[in-house]
Chain A
């Protein structure tokens, strides 16, 4: 692993929650509405059935459920009228209630569902590009283009942080220096 990766990967263990909490979050990001999100998860339960996933590893089962949920949303979105929901202006309180910063919620609301989904899968679920592209039925190149477009929307929201670790400090020096900078 390079120093660059070493520094980016802040070794802070993320707290883990029950799988259904993560599925509900994904559904909420897709649908933007609490009620609709719960309905999506219910539909997922109905379609997968009890006992499904017993022969899968936990990570394979997680991937399967996310993919299935996305596919269900793609079907449902055709017949469900658009809801103003969580990301719309004037719904700041709802966003706060859901743990979202209102400015981030507003920016997410300006993005197409696909962009929101890939941001969540990459930054929320920490899926790889390959897994995310497979899940969203797009190529890795399309994913990278969409990700760049989505991130551009966030530039005014998230400025350059002085406290952000310099990714290349220590380059060209000895490994001891790199240990020091990486703490």
Chain B
């Protein structure tokens, strides 16, 4: 005979009862098979509903991503030359003339890369996000404002005020490092830097401390992560490489990776929350890294592992 109402059995299945009540229910279930069957049925219904709602969430995320893809594709991109002009003029007070000259070269190459290498990545049809939204002038300003505020909030000497060690600053050293890391020939890398061949696996940057340092940073690849665009950004007197992605599993929200030079040493992975965004940051092998976006911390940590696997080691 059933001694328990559905309400109690469901609450038990949903883990809503206290220890005392659970002991009571356990005792009844152990000796009452029909009640046990009923209890199992409640668990099955709960699991079926959880599964159904979970699929709904997944479908909703895909739909939202598709809508954002569509609106991004419909947005009118600025001409590349205009992008360069606007970006350079906004930075002219910050970057020495010589750096600006090199930046123009780098932007030319990066712009060419962004414009010319969109296909063949992330499945058929290329990258439909394009760079239209990201390169929009107002969005750049908003992004930079947000970034600066964020860096002010999390500023630490080893992240923003570091001076690269002299022996690490030369261009040759840079190429040696990159070549070693990616098992490529130094001359071939120089060719890529000069724009003679464009490797879709690499984004071009220059870091400016007291000197100019070109860098080629591999584009991070991870499930459900789509590369949007890359640009240098000046924060607290230091240049950072900024790589913007969209996280398809999270409604295609932007996730940004910042890479900057640091004094060396290792900063343990830190995580935090700021302006509705989560972030994780760490420093390793003379570079500081920060991943930030409106995605859960666990996702940022997954991405940070990918960064360490693909970019650092």
Contacts and interface: CB of A to CB of B under 8 A. Distances in A.
Interface in A1-51: 2, 4-5, 8-9, 13-22, 24-25, 28-29
B56 A99 contact: yes
Interface stretch (B101-109, B184-192, B237-245, B249-257): B249-257
B64 A24 contact: yes
Contacts of A166: 40
Nearest to A148: B6
A155 B22 contact: no
A18 B56 contact: no
A61 B299 CA distance: 20
Interface stretch (B41-49, B119-127, B260-268): B41-49
B110 interface: no
A164 interface: yes
A162 to B, nearest CB: 9
A82 interface: no
Interface stretch (B10-18, B84-92, B143-151, B305-313): B10-18
Given A21-B64, A168-B29, A147 B251 contact: no
B276 A158 contact: no
Interface residues of B, number: 53
Contacts of A128: 16
Contacts of B294: 18-19
B22 A16 contact: no
Contacts of A13: 298
A47 B99 CA distance: 46
Interface string B1-34: 0000111001111111001001100100110000
B54 interface: yes
Interface string B271-287: 00101100000000000
Interface string B45-70: 11111101111111111001000000
A151 B43 contact: no
B295 interface: yes
Contacts of A58: 273
A151 B61 contact: no
B51 to A, nearest CB: 9
A151 B42 contact: yes
Residue among B37, B49, B250, B299 with most chain A CB within 10 A: B49
Contacts of B296: 16
Interface centre among A13, A99, A101 (most CB of B within 10 A): A99
B113 interface: no
B6 A16 contact: no
B57 A148 contact: no
A99 B57 contact: yes
Contacts of A90: none
A69 interface: no
Contacts of B249: 15, 17
A120 interface: yes
Contacts of B61: 17-18, 21
Residue with the greatest number of chain B CB neighbours at <10 A, chosen from A4, A9, A18, A25: A18
Given A144-B10, A145-B7, A171 B58 contact: no
Contact of B53 (A16, A18, A124): A124
B159 to A, nearest CB: 23
Nearest to A154: B45
Given A99-B60, A123-B53, A144 B44 contact: no
Contacts of A160: 37, 40-41, 44
B39 interface: yes
Given A104-B48, A151-B45, A168-B26, A16 B54 contact: no
A28 B59 CA distance: 12
Contact of A17 (B7, B48, B57): B57
A152 interface: yes
A123 B29 contact: no
Closest A-B pairs by Cβ, 6 of them: A99-B59, A124-B53, A18-B251, A99-B55, A148-B6, A123-B49
9 contacts: A16-B250, A16-B299, A21-B60, A21-B250, A22-B57, A25-B56, A25-B57, A99-B55, A124-B57
Interface of B: 5-7, 10-16, 19, 22-23, 26, 29-30, 36-37, 39-50, 52-61, 64, 249-251, 253, 273, 275-276, 294-296, 298-299
